[in-house]
Structure 1
Amino acid sequence: MAHTRKRAGATVLGLVAIAAIAFVPATPAQADPSIKDVKARVDRLYHEAEAAQERLHDAELDLADLRSDLSGLEADQDRQDERLEVVRDQASDAVVRQLEGEGISTVGQIVVSEDPGAFLDSLSTMSSFNDLQSSLLTSYDTELEALEIRREATDAREKEIADLTDQLSTDKQTVDDKLAEAKDLLADLEAEERERILASRGSSVRMPSDVPASGRAAAAIQYAMAQVGDAYVYGAAGESAFDCSGLTMRAWAQAGVSLPHSSSAQYGSGPHVAASDLQPGDLVFYYSPISHVGMYIGNGMIVHAANPGAGVTVSGLYSMPYVGAVRPG
């Protein structure tokens, strides 16, 4: 009996041990990303792509300035070439006249000259001419050297910008790849949740029925608000797609104000205003370094080309990291 009870007890303990092992939780698998995580990731990738595009806009503006400088320098060189050619012609004529004098020495010419004083005066004039020629040549050499230095600097800058453009293209491709991955994750979520996150990327505030503005600001706002719902496309400036600085550039162009296609360049395009003094039409800037711009429309709201998910939309003034504001015009 005792032996039987021991066997029974051992059997029970074994079953308990097996049950305990069965209920030990396995190493948890990596959890699927939440809707909040996916949204944050997609938005971050959108902004990385936008920041790269705005840097490219800045590089293109720099290149345009450098090419303009080079054009002016080349025009200076052409004018200097013309001056040098005149000097060369004058010097050539003087040499020919000397040769036609059959090589008579200076002393001999003084002796045979009917007016030695006049001849000596001409020598003085020739000496002054030679001095002038030497001065012009020295000046030309100096300007030519300066031009060559500037051209080398411009060529180096053009290469730098070309390299930057290539790097931005690579960066943009990387972002596109990551964005495609994030969208795949989004597509794997339940349909109802997917619709909710896509809807949340649109305007989260009520569209204003009237924006209090007048004059040029009113014209700019009217244009920007008319684009709400249009697509966001990197580098675009209309007619039906925009990036952030493309929208503000086109909007203020309707008011006769020229702005560069760059958010950071637009930040330096007018007087800065405090957030407490904002007026409809003011440009508002975000992130550090600056890589996004929108237009203030009053009541704590802005209109802007947000990202490829939201397009041109209306958002809160502080929906992104706020940096400052500028009043165009």
Structure 2
Amino acid sequence: MALGAATLLTPSFAAATPEVPGRAPSVADVQRELGQLALQNTQLVEQFDKAQIDVQTKRVAAAKAGLAAEKADLAFQSARQQLGAAAAAMYEGGSFSATGALLSSNSGSSYLDQLQTLSMISSHTAQIVRGLTAAQKTADAARAKAKTLLKAAKDKRDALAAKRTQVDRQLNKYRTLLDSLTAAQRAAYQRQVNPTVSSSRLDQLRANVPPANSKAAAQAVRFALKQVGKPYVYGAAGPGSYDCSGLTMAAWASAGVSLPHSAADQYNYGHHVSFSQLEPGDLLFYYSPIGHVTIYIGDGLMVSAPQDGENVSVVPAVQGNGYVGSTRLTG
């Protein structure tokens, strides 16, 4: 999920000076447009990640349905062979057949008893075949449905990826505008939208991780800090790159806690805590619908996988500008 400090500041861009026809875009113009596009990008990437999860779920369902259909088919074939053998025996005059019953019986009642037994066996076999046939049809229907759902999920994912590409093109357009600014203007802009901590402060945090509420939370924070500097890539969950929910998922996975690769879904894990109650390891969520998640590390700071073109970084924890809430997980 794309989102960094730049996106968190998006609301302030709305107040920037509007563009004037014929005038070159100002820094404020670029900030406003880039912030709006970054927010769109965040929602699209969240949808893309959820679509990926949907594809994986449907793929598992299709595989299970396929196995069920194969099992039902094998059982059906076996029962059909058994029924064929029984029918052949009945009409070939063996002892366990209608002819055999007539020849081997020593009384009328004995003959009728054997015929009744044969009839029961035949009916039972036929009943088994009917049941297995129904099971096979059910499995085939499930497999067909699973394939249909899988195709729909893939189509959705591909459509989102195409839309995501369109937004990327626009983001690149405005990054190009930023590159046209002077070095001083670019530096001022980066300080405004991406207020990361200094390298010395980062070293201090890594050496002395703030105390957490559990060993699992402390491990998740240590893991997140080790990822700082790695590039943001949407849909990635390590080890070389991450998007936002991929980072928090991997961080907590290192502590033995499983999370889905979706910021919106992660919001439903653990229990909610207020911003004033934040402790290291807690997850912070932004935007409605939710499109970004970070991990709190203490001292008013959080680790965030921001957006394309940026790296995982430590930034101030922000309560305003799209903050939705926080959750606490337990290992």
**Taking structure 1 as the reference length, what is the TM-score of the superposition?**
0.80
Kept in 2, the 8 Å contact 1:296–1:317? The answer is no
Partner of 2:136: 144
Partner of 1:297: 297
Partner secondary structure for residue 242 of structure 1:
coil
Of 63, 75, 78, the residue aligned with 2:70 is 78
Q: Which amino acid aligns with 2:159?
A: Q
Kept in 2, the 8 Å contact 1:46–1:308? The answer is no
Partner of 2:261: 261
Query: Structure 1 residues 307 and 115, CA, compared in 2 at 3 Å: closer, same or farther?
Result: same
Deviation at 1:178, TM superposition (A): 0.6
Deviation at 1:78, TM superposition (A): 3.3
Partner of 1:226: 226
Deviation at 1:115, TM superposition (A): 4.2
Matches within 5 A, 1:2-151: 29-101=21-93, 110=102, 113-151=105-143
Q: Quick one: distance in 1 between partners of 2:309 and 2:99?
A: 93
Partner of 1:321: 322
Partner of 2:5: none
Are 2:241 and 1:241 aligned? yes
Kept in 2, the 8 Å contact 1:284–1:293? The answer is yes
Partner secondary structure for residue 324 of structure 2:
strand
Q: Quick one: distance in 1 between partners of 2:231 and 2:103?
A: 93
Root mean square deviation of aligned Cα: 2.8
Kept in 1, the 8 Å contact 2:55–2:150? The answer is yes
Where relative contact order (Cα < 8 A, 6+ residues apart) is larger, the structure is 2
After superposition, what is the alpha-carbon deviation per residue over 1:80-117, rounded to whole angstroms, capped at 9, x for unaligned? 33432342233122221233129xx9699648732443
Partner of 1:281: 281
Partner of 2:16: none
Partner secondary structure for residue 231 of structure 1:
coil
Partner secondary structure for residue 290 of structure 2:
coil
Kept in 2, the 8 Å contact 1:59–1:161? The answer is yes
Q: Which amino acid aligns with 2:60?
A: S
Q: Quick one: distance in 2 between partners of 1:185 and 1:108?
A: 96
After superposition, what is the alpha-carbon deviation per residue over 1:248-289, rounded to whole angstroms, capped at 9, x for unaligned? 112112212222222122223333334343321011211122
Q: Which amino acid aligns with 1:150?
A: A
Partner of 1:212: 211
Query: Structure 1 residues 111 and 180, CA, compared in 2 at 3 Å: closer, same or farther?
Result: closer
Bigger shift: residues 286-295 or 298-307: 298-307
**Identity fraction in percent:** 35
Partner secondary structure for residue 232 of structure 1:
coil
Gaps of 5+ in 2: 1-19
After superposition, what is the alpha-carbon deviation per residue over 1:105-149, rounded to whole angstroms, capped at 9, x for unaligned? 969964873244333222222222232223223322332232233
Are 2:151 and 1:159 aligned? yes
Partner of 1:22: none
Partner secondary structure for residue 281 of structure 2:
coil
Query: Structure 1 residues 150 and 324, CA, compared in 2 at 3 Å: closer, same or farther?
Result: farther
Q: Quick one: distance in 2 between partners of 1:306 and 1:46?
A: 10
**Taking structure 2 as the reference length, what is the TM-score of the superposition?**
0.80
Deviation at 1:165, TM superposition (A): 2.2
Q: Quick one: distance in 2 between partners of 1:322 and 1:66?
A: 32
Kept in 2, the 8 Å contact 1:47–1:307? The answer is no
Q: Quick one: distance in 2 between partners of 1:179 and 1:112?
A: 91
Q: Quick one: distance in 1 between partners of 2:100 and 2:227?
A: 91
Q: Which amino acid aligns with 1:326?
A: T
Partner of 2:181: 189
Q: Quick one: distance in 2 between partners of 1:66 and 1:90?
A: 36
Query: Structure 1 residues 83 and 241, CA, compared in 2 at 3 Å: closer, same or farther?
Result: closer
Deviation at 1:32, TM superposition (A): 2.8
Kept in 2, the 8 Å contact 1:216–1:255? The answer is yes
Deviation at 1:225, TM superposition (A): 1.7
Partner of 2:163: 171
Partner of 1:14: none
Aligned pair count reads 300
Q: Which has the larger radius of gyration?
A: 1
Q: Quick one: distance in 1 between partners of 2:306 and 2:135?
A: 49
Q: Which amino acid aligns with 2:138?
A: A
